[in-house]
Amino acid sequence: MKTTVTLFDLPAAIKTFPFIQVWHRRRDNDKLHQWFRSEVKDVCSKIKEFLNPMEHHQMNKD
């Protein structure tokens, strides 16, 4: 099942903040948990690119 994430401009500037994922080691090999972590990472990377397209472009220049 795929869902759509809609990105839009905020009405005010906000500060960026670090985002990390933390899980118990017994979940490392859990297929569902791996999938979920991957989805979260994918969505967050797209949001970061949307918020800072030039910074993202510079980081992925190679």
Residue 12 pLDDT greater than 80, yes or no:
yes
pLDDT of residue 55: 52
Q: Which two tokens stand for residue 31?
A: 């297929």
7 pLDDT higher than 90: no
pLDDT at site 53:
55
Burial of 48 by CB count in 10 Å (0-12 exposed, 13-18 middle, 19+ buried)? middle
Q: State the pLDDT at residue 4.
A: 84
pLDDT of residue 54: 52
Report pTM. Answer: 0.54
Q: At 48, is the secondary structure helix, strand, or coil?
A: helix
Tokens of 60: 């992925």
As a whole number, mean pLDDT of residues 30-56 equals: 79
